[in-house]
Amino acid sequence: MGSNDSISVGGKQNGLSLKEIIISINGWSKYILSKWLVYIIVGIIGAGIGLLLASIQKDKYEANLTFVIENSQSGDLSSYAGLASQFGIDLGGTVRSGIFSGDNILEFLKSRMLIEKTLLLPIEKNGKGYSMADYYLNISDLKKESNSAISFPLEIPRAKLDRMQDSVLNIIYTKITESNLKISKLDKKLDFIQVRFTSKDELFSKIFTENLVKEAIDFYINTKIQRYNTNIDRLQMKADSIEKLLNQSTVELARIQDINLNAVRRVAGVSNELAQRNKTILQTMYIEVVKNLELTKISLVQERPIIQIIDKPLMPLKNVKIGKVRATFIGAFVSMVLAFMMVVVMKLYKNIMAE
C-alpha cells in the first residue's frame, strides 16, 4: 500500500490535519475490508468448532424451586412476652431471626450439614433404591475418576460413616456447591428464594432440589417446635404443681372452716384467713400460668408453616445445553471478532515498524 494508507504513530508533527485524518481512516477502512476472505474463513472454522462443541456436550437439566419466607405473625403476642418472662418462659416469634433471617438462608441452603443430610436420603429409579450420594457418584463420574469402591448404603446415619466415606462425601459436597447448586434471591427487597440445581440426570436434579428445601424446612420447624415444646412442658409442670397445691389449699381451708364453725374467740379465725389468702394467691398464679401456657401453644401454631413453596420443578425439566444453531452462530461471531482484532493488531505493528 502507499504512504496514504498508513497512520502516523507518534509522528513528528504535534497534530494531524483534517485531510490527513480522513486519508488515514480511508486507508484503514480499505485495509480492513480487504481482509474479508480471512474473516469468512475464520468464521467458518469458528462455526465448525461451535457446532462440534455443541454436539459433544452432554445434556444438563436444571430444576428450579422458588419459596417465600413468611414474616412471623406473633406480633400480637409481644404484649404478653414480659408477663411470660416472669415465669422463665420465652414465647419467641416476636422477631424473625437466626438462620432464616436476611441472607442467612442463602448460606444455610449451601451448608455442608444440610447438603450431606440430603445426600444420605434415598432416591428410586426403575424400581431400585439408591442413596443420593451413590446416585450422584455414578452420574458425575466421580467414582470412575477416583477409582473408589466407596458406597453409601440406604438410610445410613451420618455418625456411622467411616473416614473414607466422610472424605468422599466432602468431595461430593464441594463439587455440588461449586458446579451444580445455585441459591439466589429474586429481588433484594423481597423474601423470595430461588434454588437451582443443574446436573446430567433429570430425576436427580428434581429430587435433590425438592429434598434440599424440605430438609431445610424440617430443620427450622423442628428447631422451633423443640423450643416451644420445652416452654410448653415447663409451663405444664408449673400448672400441674400449682393445681396440686391449690387443691390441697382448698381441702385445708374447708377443714379449718369445719373446725372453727362455732368458734367464739377471734384468734380461731386467723388460720381460716391465712388458708383463704394462700388459696387466693395460688388461684392467681394458676390462672397466669395457664394463660401463658395457652399463649405459647398459640404462638407455636402461628409459627407453622414458616415457608411456603411457590414453584416446584416439574418434569420434563429444562435442558440448559446450548443448541447447535446457537453454538454455530456464537462460534462464528466470536472467531470473526478475534480475526478482526488480529488484523488491527497486525496493521498497527506494521505501521510502528515502518516508522
> 3-class SS at 280?
helix
Q: What is the pTM of this model?
A: 0.61
Residue 107 contacts residue 121 (beta carbons within 8 Å): no
Question: Helix 36-56 and helix 324-354: axis angle, to 10°?
Answer: 140
Residue with cell 429409579: 125
> 3-class SS at 125?
strand
| Domains of the chain, CATH where assigned | 3-57+322-354 (no CATH), 61-318 (3.30.1890)
What gap in Å lies between CA 290 and CA 81, rounded to an integer? Answer: 14
Q: What is the pLDDT along the chain (355 residues), one digit of tens a residue?
A: 444 444 444 444 445 677 777 877 887 788 778 888 888 888 888 888 887 877 777 778 899 999 887 655 444 444 445 545 544 555 554 444 566 666 788 888 889 999 999 999 999 888 888 889 888 988 887 766 655 677 888 878 888 888 888 888 888 999 999 988 999 888 777 778 899 999 888 999 999 999 999 998 888 777 777 777 777 777 777 777 777 777 777 776 676 666 665 544 444 555 666 667 777 777 777 788 778 777 777 776 666 656 788 889 888 888 777 777 787 888 888 888 888 888 888 888 777 777 6
Backbone φ/ψ region at 92: left (φ over 0), alpha (ψ -120 to 50), beta: left
